[in-house]
């Protein structure tokens, strides 16, 4: 994974999956919990959360809610 120094207030559905994982590696567990193995796939480098949620038939708003809960707890 490429390292970035990202700082955001909250996670949004237009963010790239790899960028989200760079914020906190524990967020990968949330993706896995939704059956989204994007963190291990090359698509995670360029696919947004919304695009991946659509492909995996995941409710993007619920996913974003869970990602933000975890992100804010671990800040």
Per residue in 16-44, pLDDT tens? 999 999 999 999 999 999 999 878 888 77
Q: What's the pLDDT score for residue 1?
A: 45
Looking at the domain assignment, is residue 9 inside a domain? no
Looking at the domain assignment, is residue 42 inside a domain? yes
Our CA dihedral for 68, 19, 41, 71, rounded to 10 degrees, sits at: -20
Looking at the domain assignment, is residue 6 inside a domain? no
Looking at the domain assignment, is residue 4 inside a domain? no
Q: What's the pLDDT score for residue 25?
A: 92
Decide if pLDDT at 51 tops 80: yes
- Averaged confidence pLDDT in the chain: 90
Looking at the domain assignment, is residue 69 inside a domain? yes
Q: How far are the Cα atoms of 1, 4, 32 from residue 58, in angstroms, in the given order?
A: 24, 27, 12
Looking at the domain assignment, is residue 10 inside a domain? no
57: domain range? 17-73
Looking at the domain assignment, is residue 24 inside a domain? yes
For the chain, how many structural domains are there in total? 1
pTM over 0.75: yes
31-35 CB contacts, 8 Å cutoff, 24+ apart: 33/66, 34/58, 34/63, 34/66
């Amino acid at each position: 994974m490429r390292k970035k120094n990202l700082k955001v207030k909250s996670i949004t559905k237009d963010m790239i999956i790899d960028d989200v994982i760079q914020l906190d590696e524990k967020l990968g567990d949330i993706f896995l919990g939704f059956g989204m193995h994007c963190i291990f796939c090359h698509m995670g480098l360029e696919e947004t959360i919304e695009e991946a949620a659509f492909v995996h038939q995941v409710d993007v708003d619920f996913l974003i809610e869970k990602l933000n809960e975890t992100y804010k707890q671990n800040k």
